[in-house]
Structure 1
Amino acid sequence: MINIFKVVSFLEGVSYLLLMFLGMPYKYLESLGNDPIYVKMFGMPHGILFVAYIVLAFLLKPVFKWSIKEFGIVCLLSLLPFGTFFVGKYLKKDVA
């Protein structure tokens, strides 16, 4: 299950970056045409991956015996751009 979580965390991070740096400018910048197509294209996959990330974090919490603080850090990383890319490094410390 840890490998699934690593893959989901990576994909969630990529989808978040695509949404923030491609979808949002195309939707809100007049020079790019005010086209919401990329937000629609990246929004749903990002939402699904975000929910999967949080559910997997809840499932892994007892496996790794995360404290509330550690669990909070893992959840907080999902809200920060580039944050989920650091989860893999964080988990390597727990696995070792």
Structure 2
Amino acid sequence: MINLYRKTAVVEGISYLILLFVAMPLKYFFNIPEAVKYFGWIHGVLFLVFLVFLVLAAVKYRWSLIRIGIYLIASVLPIVPFILDKKLAEEYPN
């Protein structure tokens, strides 16, 4: 379960970076709004999947509400999900 959560968090983090640093500049600097439309949808779906796996992992590993809150806040900060992924890999080795 933890590996599935970690992979989902990383993919969601990548989609967020693409949305912020590729799609948004395309929209606002080059007047190509379709980039945000499509990447926004992709990111939105991935974020919902991320939330499902966060809840499942939280229940399975009995994470505290503070830890869940940290992971939620981290999901909206561009680089933090990758830092937390490394920490989770250390905490839950395969």
What TM-score do the two structures reach when normalised by structure 2? Answer: 0.87
8 Å CA contact 1:19, 1:39 repeated in 2: yes
Q: For residue 40 of structure 2, what is the aligned residue in structure 1?
A: 43
Q: Which has the larger radius of gyration?
A: 1
Partner of 1:7: 7
Q: Which runs of 5+ in 1 are unaligned?
A: none
- Determine the C-alpha separation between the residues in 2 that align with 1:86 and 1:40: 28
2: CA distance between counterparts of 1:69 and 1:89? 19
TM-superposed CA distance for 1:91, in Å, is 1.7
Q: Which runs of 4+ in 1 moved over 3 A?
A: none
User: In 1, Cα distance between the equivalents of 2:22 and 2:13?
Assistant: 14
Unpaired runs of 5+ in structure 2? none
CA contact (8 A) 1:64 1:94 kept: no
Letter in 1 for 2:61: F
Q: CA deviation at 1:70?
A: 0.9
Q: Which of 36, 52, 59 is the matching residue for 2:56?
A: 59
Q: How far apart are 1:87 and its partner, in Å?
A: 2.7
What is the TM-score of this pair, normalised by structure 1?
A: 0.85
Equivalent residue runs for 1:1-96 within 5 Å? 1-29=1-29, 32=30, 34-95=31-92
Q: Secondary structure at the match of 1:19?
A: helix
After superposition, the C-alpha distances for 1:60-94 in whole angstroms (9 at most, x for unaligned) are 11222211111111111111111221232232344
Identity of paired residues, percent? 39
Q: How far off its partner does 1:18 sit?
A: 0.6
